[in-house]
């Protein structure tokens, strides 16, 4: 199993550009979420999804869109990138069964907006 994968690992954008951060999981987890982590701060929740077709806003949703058309994929879209969105983005899922409630994180995407 690949677990939680994120692409790209690194990205540089210019202000105003749009892009999609990909997140995929092969663990058949219902719950997926996106966080951003900035220097000196903990994780802040952007959006989350409790299952295919269901999404909800987290703490800092402005400037980001998500969709959940399948259980496996949970892409995060930046509509018009701003320097304030320079951050490291983590996708996470919540385990089930023997790993019930354990949260699995992807490797992260480091985004720089110029």
Partner 1 sequence: SQQGEEDPQALSIQEGENATMNCSYKTSINNLQWYRQNSGRGLVHLILIRSNEREKHSGRLRVTLDTSKKSSSLLITASRAADTASYFCALISSGSARQLTFGSGTQLTVLP
Query: Binding segment for partner 1 among 3-11, 12-20, 51-59, 81-89 (CB under 8 A)?
Result: 51-59
- The residue among 19 and 60 lying less far from partner 1, judged by its C-beta, is 60
Residue 57 in contact with partner 1, rule: CB under 8 A: yes
Matching residue, tokens 């703490």: 59
Residues 6-25: x where in contact with partner 1 by CB under 8 A, - otherwise, as a string: --------------------
Ramachandran class of 83: left when φ > 0, alpha when ψ lies in -120 to 50, beta otherwise: alpha
Contact residues for partner 1, defined by CB under 8 A: 31, 33, 41-42, 44-45, 48, 50, 56-60, 94, 100-103
């Amino acid at each position: 199993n690949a677990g939680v994968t994120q692409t790209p690992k690194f990205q540089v954008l210019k202000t105003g550009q749009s892009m999609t951060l990909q997140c995929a999981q092969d663990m058949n987890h219902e719950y997926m979420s996106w966080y951003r982590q900035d220097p000196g701060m903990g994780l802040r929740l952007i959006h989350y999804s409790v299952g295919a077709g269901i999404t909800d806003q987290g703490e800092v949703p402005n400037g980001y869109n998500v969709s959940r058309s399948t259980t496996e994929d949970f892409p995060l879209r930046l509509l018009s990138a701003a320097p304030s969105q320079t951050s490291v983005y983590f996708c996470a899922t919540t385990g089930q069964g023997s790993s019930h409630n354990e949260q699995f994180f992807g490797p992260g995407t480091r985004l720089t907006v110029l």
